[in-house]
């Protein structure tokens, strides 16, 4: 079981927000096919095709004020995050159609990546309550990080604006980040303890991430009520690459240069007044200190029946 199940929801009005730029496909055609699927099941839907992330946010906030019982995010993790932020603290339910490149949240909820199968999952209406995390009141569903990763994302986006594909841009950005290899001096407060580190990164996950060979980066539950915090000591570039290889081989958890801990709250202090913070693939500059907390079972989401049993 990956989540805490609830009774199936009887669907009436459904809002679907599609990110036009998500994934490699033509999402105009996806919108047309979705209209056909829901019509076959006699479910009233309203589909909007968002041309930007800002438009996704605007449409989601508008839908959260509307009569819809279910608001569906059709896109990648950034789109799902934006819609979830509008749905949380309301009586609405989140639906997910994974149209992005990676779709981490959908994967961990066992939502099928096939469009028709994902649509029929929404039609079935099996719901669950899952945890969300937040940093300085900004929610995230997967993870948040400081240090190397925000630099990589920023450099990747620059490269993509120059015409590179996503993966070539990512590789180039990773090389550039490792060349600079910046370190953060941080003080972490968790579980009534204080920890000082000079580190290339801090990673904070919504629930625990697997560290074994076959499932690295996967969460088997999203309702354990914990933040998982991963940090490494100051180390060389080669040592950092070695840590990455040990992660791939499922041997990272016991490495002497790697620390993993869990808490429901975390405070990160640094001498920087502002830091670039990554969450669910997005980057935002935030004031320090950074206050993380776990909101247990705060989000209702539609999942496959098997995942809710």
Long-range CB contacts (within 8 A, 24+) of 98-103:
99/18, 99/19, 99/22, 99/23, 99/25, 99/27, 99/30, 99/74, 99/75, 100/19, 100/22, 100/23, 100/75, 100/76, 101/22, 101/23, 101/24, 101/76, 101/166, 102/76, 102/77, 102/281, 103/76, 103/77
| CA–CA distance, 219 with 307 (Å, rounded to integer) | 13
pLDDT at 31: 87
pLDDT at 183: 77
Q: Between 40 and 85, whose confidence is greater?
A: 85
Highest mean pLDDT out of 38-47, 208-217, 293-302: 293-302
Query: Mean pLDDT, to the nearest integer, of 88-113?
Result: 94
Residue 180 predicted with pLDDT over 80 = no
pLDDT at 20: 85
Query: Mean pLDDT, to the nearest integer, of 281-286?
Result: 88
Residue 57 in contact with residue 81, Cβ under 8 Å? no
Residue 270 predicted with pLDDT over 70 = yes
Query: Mean pLDDT, to the nearest integer, of 193-221?
Result: 80
Residue 22 predicted with pLDDT over 90 = no
Q: How confident is the model at residue 252 (pLDDT cuts 50, 70, 90)?
A: very low
Range name among 30-39, 236-245, 263-272 with the lowest pLDDT average: 236-245
Q: Percent of the chain, pLDDT > 90? A: 52
Residue 268 backbone dihedrals phi, psi, to 5 degrees = -120, 120
Range name among 41-45, 237-241, 245-249, 250-254 with the lowest pLDDT average: 245-249
The model carries a pTM of 0.83
């Amino acid at each position: 079981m990956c989540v805490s199940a609830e009774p199936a929801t009887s669907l009436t009005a459904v809002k679907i927000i599609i990110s036009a730029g998500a994934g490699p496909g033509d999402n105009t055609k996806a919108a047309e096919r979705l209209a056909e699927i829901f019509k076959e099941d006699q479910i009233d839907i309203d589909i909007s095709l968002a041309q930007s992330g800002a438009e996704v946010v605007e449409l989601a906030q508008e839908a959260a004020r509307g009569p819809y019982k279910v608001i569906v995010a059709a896109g990648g993790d950034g789109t799902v995050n934006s819609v979830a932020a509008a749905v949380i603290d309301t009586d609405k339910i989140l639906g997910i159609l994974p149209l992005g490149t990676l779709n981490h949240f959908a994967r961990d909820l066992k939502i099928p990546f096939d469009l028709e199968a994902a649509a029929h999952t929404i039609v079935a209406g099996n719901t669950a309550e899952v945890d969300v995390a937040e940093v300085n009141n900004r929610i995230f569903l997967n993870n948040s990080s400081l240090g190397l990763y925000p630099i990589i994302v920023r450099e990747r986006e620059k490269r993509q604006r120059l015409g590179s594909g996503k993966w070539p841009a990512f590789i180039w950005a990773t090389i550039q980040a490792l060349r600079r290899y910046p370190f953060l001096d941080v003080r972490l407060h968790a579980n009534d303890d204080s920890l000082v580190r000079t580190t290339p990164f801090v990673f904070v996950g919504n629930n625990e991430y697997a560290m074994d060979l076959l499932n690295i980066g996967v969460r088997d539950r999203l309702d354990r009520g914990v933040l998982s915090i991963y940090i490494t000591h100051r180390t060389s570039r080669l040592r950092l690459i070695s840590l990455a290889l040990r992660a791939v081989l499922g041997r990272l958890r016991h490495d002497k240069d790697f620390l993993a801990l869990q808490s429901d709250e975390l405070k990160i202090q640094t001498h920087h007044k502002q830091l670039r913070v990554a969450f669910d693939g997005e980057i935002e500059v935030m004031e320090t200190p950074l206050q993380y907390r776990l909101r247990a079972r705060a989000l209702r989401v539609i999942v496959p029946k098997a995942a809710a049993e």
